[in-house]
Structure 1
Amino acid sequence: MDRTVKARWERTSDEFQETADVDVGLNWGWDDVDSDAFLGDLEGKHVLELGCGGGQDTVALVERGASVTGIDLSREQLGHATALFEAHDLEIDVAEGSVTSLPFAADQFDLAFNTWVFQWVPDLRACFAEAHRVLRSGGRLVFSMPHPFFSLVDPDSHELEESYFDTGRHVVVDHREDYPNMVTYRRRVSDVHTALREAGFVVDELREPGSADPADHEAGPWGESPPELRAKLPRVLIVAATAE
């Protein structure tokens, strides 16, 4: 666990939930995703959400018939999740902890799922290994994450500013008082695939949803994803894999 990542989420959780405008649903990062095709029938399935955040996806998974357990590194985020569950009259188990060291026994879950989490995980190999450990044989790992191409381009000029091969820990300084810096981890697509394979997964599907028409895109809650740029580069990478 990166302590700076945790500290930032504890500091910014309220702000994020107020401004991100994340609705209950499966928030892949792109609207036109066939969730049924990726997830299948979840009725009666035991699902682990890796990085459940404020619980919006968690509620959506329960509404699809799954029994869901969530884990997140941020106590503040879990507080928002618990409040959301209560508002929907749901009792859902959540744990505070790291996705690289899961507090669950082996062979418990049918599906491990998350959206928009792995950019904050320092050791993706450990995360995938833990997911494989807690999944039953034939269980699936399905997730979305920021596409590594998108962050390399200036959102205004659309010019390539950084190297795709400059991977690892990336820090954006937050100059506000008492705000930890934003830390993310950059990886190549091949790094993600290799980490999955080494953890014992077979990749079933890899998708880069998008459209060449700017009218099909939104700029995001903070204007960080200009439609004109999203029409040129994929913003989202979605992966489905099976535990051997």
Structure 2
Amino acid sequence: MREIPQWTNDMAIRQWGAMPRTVLEQTEHGGDFAKRHLINPVLLRMLGDLNGQRVLDAGCGNGYLSRMLAERHAQVVGVEPGQSLYEFAVERETAAPLGIRYVQADLCALPDLGAPFDAVVASMVLPAIPDWTGAMRACVDALKPGGLFVFTVNHPCFEQLWPSWREHGEYRTRRYLAEYEIPGPSGVDFHRTIATYLNQLVSLGCQIAEIAEPGLAPETAADGPDGIDAYVHLPNFLVVAARRGS
């Protein structure tokens, strides 16, 4: 197994940036099943009224969340380093303009994005970044004092919930405290503990406002893919909202 120190942001960006167009098209409207039913509703509730708010979608991928935010009348800047993801987001904005500004950049090396943001969202982004502490710092630095930072990650306790549930009818894991790779169909995520994420957030001067572990409604699971009922019983995602200090 490849050790995490061998990875660089550039390597991860190249891998994620080669995502096939078919995948991008399948997830252009609200993301995948889990994002539509578990992550997005919590994110939008935490963000609250977005009318006129300046929002950074950090690691915006194919732009589905940026479009959702813009449709709620936010002034959106989406940053995405991956080539195919960035190009798809720009293409959709060109075809149906919502006033979104897309920037191709590594989150750890952000260009000047203008005035500080009222809110920064990093949804399912930090686990995919080798230099995640640099990315989190950049997200917080982009906020105005008192601004809201909301991020989501695979729940560190239940990261491979779906395949485990399908195989065993329960969740099984053998390790938690070590950092390790989680290979996926489009790229690699990295396991880190809950404390690792939250302690870094606190060290950046943020005050945690809310933590959510969303569960799937039974009636929604009934219409979902095989094994998705695991999400009714255990959380596969962790959503954190925090305020930047003054």
TM range (shorter): 0.7 to 0.9
Partner of 2:231: 230
Q: Report SS of the residue matched to 2:89.
A: helix
Q: Secondary structure at the match of 1:33?
A: helix
Matched to 1:208, the amino acid is E
- Structure 2: runs of 5 or more not aligned: 1-7
Does the aligned pair in 1 maintain the 2:12–2:130 contact within 8 Å? Answer: no
Q: Summarize the alignment of residues 94-133 of structure 1 with structure 2, pairs less than 5 Å apart.
A: 94-104=102-112, 108-133=116-141
SS in 2 for 1:112: strand
Query: What is the Cα-based RMSD across aligned positions, in Å?
Result: 2.8
Cα contact 1:25–1:56 (8 A) shared by 2: yes
Structure 1 position 125, deviation (Å): 2.1
- The equivalent residue for 2:204 is 199
SS of residue matched to 1:185: strand
Who is 1:23 aligned against?
A: 29
Q: 1:216 aligns with which of 214, 220, 234?
A: 220
Superposed displacement of residue 165, structure 1 = 1.3
Contact 1:171 1:183 in 2 (8 A): yes
CA distance in structure 2 between the partners assigned to 1:77 and 1:105 by the alignment: 19
Identify the residue that residue 64 of structure 2 maps to in structure 1: 56
Distance 1:124 1:106 in 2: 23
Q: Out of 25-34 and 70-79, give the one that drifted further.
A: 25-34
Aligned 8 A contact 1:68 1:93 in 2: yes
% identical equivalent positions = 24
* 1:165 is the counterpart of 2:196: no
Q: Which runs of 5+ in 1 are unaligned?
A: 175-180
Deviations 1:195-243 (A, max 9, x none): 10111111100000104x65433797xx5x8223223320111111000
Q: How does 1:6-17 map to 2 (within 5 A)?
A: 6-17=13-24
TM-score after normalising by structure 1: 0.82
TM-score, with length taken from structure 2: 0.82
Summarize the Cα distance change of 1:219–1:145 in structure 2 as closer, same or farther, 3 Å threshold.
farther
CA distance in 2, matches of 1:173, 1:231: 23
* Counterpart in the other structure of 1:182: 187
